Amino acid sequence: MTVPLALVLFVLGFGGAFVSGLVGVGGAIVMIPLLYYVPPLLGAGELTIQDVAGLSMTQVLAAAIVGAWSHGRQALVHHRLAWTGGPAMAAGALLGALASSRVSGRALLATFALMATAALPLMLVSPAPAEPTGARDAGPFNRPAAVVLPGTIGLMAGLVGAGGAFLLVPVLVGLLRIPMRLSIGTSLAMVGMAAVSGFVGKVVTGQVPLWPAATVVLGSLGGAPLGGRVSRRVPVGVLRGVLAGIIALVMARIWLDVVAH
C-alpha cells in the first residue's frame, strides 16, 4: 500500500464514520462509492469491488460499534428490538459475506443499487412517529417483521460489504414505526452485530486487505463519535433529509455504473 493511498483511505474512513454517527448508517452507503471511485480519481491507486466490500465491512464494524455506544449512552437504543432483529441480521450477513466471493462485481454493484432504491421511498414517504425522550419510552413492535426484515437486509448487506443501516433505518421508521432518533441508535446496535459476522465471512474468504483495512478503521474511530454528538443537536427533519439525499445520490451514481457496464 502506497503512502498516497493510505492518506486517502484514512480521510475516507473518517468521513464515512462521521456520516455513520450522524444519520445512523454503518457508513457503507458512503464508503462503498468513495472507496471505489475516489482513489483512482486522485491517482492513489485502484481497488476491486471485492476489496472495497471487505474494507467497507471493516469500517462498518468499527463505526457501528462506536456509534452504538455513543447513542446508547443517551438512552437512544431500543434494546428489545436490537436483540430481536440483530441476531437475524447477523446470520444473514454471514451467509451473504460467504457467498460474495463467488458473485461478479457487476452483480454486487447491482445489489447495492437495489438496496438504495428500496430505501429511498421509505425514507421520503413515511411520516416519522413522535420522538421519545429515551429508549425507556420505546413501545411495542411487530416481532416477526423485526426478524424477517433485518435478516433479509443482512443477507444483501453481507454480499456487498455494507452494514445495511441505510435500508434498516427507513424500515424501522416506515414499517416498524420506531421514532427516528431511536431508529438511528437501534440500527447501529443491530448493524454492529451483523458487521461482526459479515467481517468474519469476508476474512474467511480472503476479501479483507489487512493494511488498507487498518488504515480505514483508524480514520473511523474519530469520525463516528463526532457524528453522534452532532446528531443530537440536529432536528429530526434535517437528519431524514440528509439520509435521503445521500441515498439518492449514491443510487443514481451506482445505477449509471451498472448500466454502463
Q: What is the pLDDT of residues 199-235, one digit of tens each?
A: 899 898 888 888 999 998 888 888 878 887 887 788 8
Residue 181 has pLDDT above 90, yes or no: no
The Cα 115–Cα 146 span in angstroms is 18
Comparison of pLDDT for 129 and 57, the residue scoring more:
57
In the structure, what pLDDT confidence band is assigned to residue 187 with cuts at 50, 70 and 90? confident
Position 147 scores a pLDDT of 95
Position 138 scores a pLDDT of 59
For residues 16 and 224, the answer to whether their CB atoms sit within 8 Å is no
Position 123 scores a pLDDT of 63
Provide the whole-model pTM. 0.75
Position 128 scores a pLDDT of 52
Residue 102 has pLDDT above 90, yes or no: no
In the structure, what pLDDT confidence band is assigned to residue 81 with cuts at 50, 70 and 90? very high
Most confident of 48-52, 148-152, 204-208, 223-227: 148-152
Q: Average pLDDT over the chain, rounded to whole? A: 82
Return the exposure string of 210-236: e unless at least 16 CB atoms fall within 10 Å of the residue's CB, then b. eebbbbbbebbeebbbebbeebeeeee
Position 174 scores a pLDDT of 80
Position 212 scores a pLDDT of 92
Residue 11 has pLDDT above 70, yes or no: yes
Report the number of distinct structural domains present in the chain. 1
Domain that holds residue 245: 3-260
CA distances from 242 to 7, 181, 248 (A): 26, 14, 10
